[in-house]
Amino acid sequence: MTQPDSPVRVDYVATCQLPTQWGVFDMHGFEEVGGREHVVLTLGEVTDGAPLTRIHSECLTGDALFSLRCDCGFQLAAALEAIAAEGRGVLVYLRQEGRGIGLINKIRAYKLQDGGADTVEANERLGFPADMRDFRIAREMLAHLGVTAVRIMTNNPRKIDTLQQAGIEVAERVALQVGRNAYNDHYLDTKKAKLGHLFGL
């Protein structure tokens, strides 16, 4: 995972309520120095212990357009449902589309995948690393909300390592394996084989 030498600074902007099908969350807005905007959804008391937490990178195609090419939208919905069932938790939504390459390059990568490349090969053929996301930017947002330890919903061990290196205690990994289908089978298998994602545990 390619990351800058130091984490990007993010500033808190405002908080409002966000009613959803799973319940009424508090939505906290943050802005990077440099432009990107991120949000954190919280439910209930999150400063005590290690709340159930999902750090989710933006996926317009999966989250909003219901694509079956990935498992992102399924993971987002499952995470919010799990937080609601527990009565408290955190969802950090980071604006780093396409594992950091952006929406238009993601479409170009999808075109290469249509021609037979896997998700890692497609990014690399476009001149990008396999994964450009920087999960360390979540640290300042979590710190602002008083969250210092998490039970993280993820299949990505690199995300856990990055959070721990940034000073966030990961008390537990909670598997989030949802949404496998005929269109994303190869994508999920590639994430396991080439990116080390933890499936089947």
Q: Which residues are annotated as a binding site?
A: 54-59, 70, 72, 75, 97-99, 119, 154, 159
> Binding site for GTP, residues?
54-58, 75, 97-99, 119, 154, 159
Task: Spell out the residues 6+ positions from residue 153 whose beta carbon is closer than 8 angstroms to its own.
Answer: 52, 53, 54, 75, 79, 82, 174, 175, 176
Count Cβ neighbours within 10 Å for each residue of 52-84 and write b for 16 or more, e otherwise. bbbbbbbbebbbeeebbbbbbbbbbbbbbebbb
Q: Exactly one of 63, 71, 118, 131 is catalytic; which is it?
A: 131
Q: Exactly one of 63, 71, 118, 133 is catalytic; which is it?
A: 133
> Binding site for Zn(2+), residues?
59, 70, 72
Measuring CA to CA, which residue among 42, 144, 53, 158 is closest to residue 100? 158
Is the distance from CB of 174 to CB of 52 less than 8 angstroms?
A: yes
Measuring CA to CA, which residue among 124, 96, 127 is closest to residue 195? 124
**Residue 133 annotated as catalytic:** yes
Quote the tokens at residue 87: 């009565």
Report the catalytic residues.
131, 133
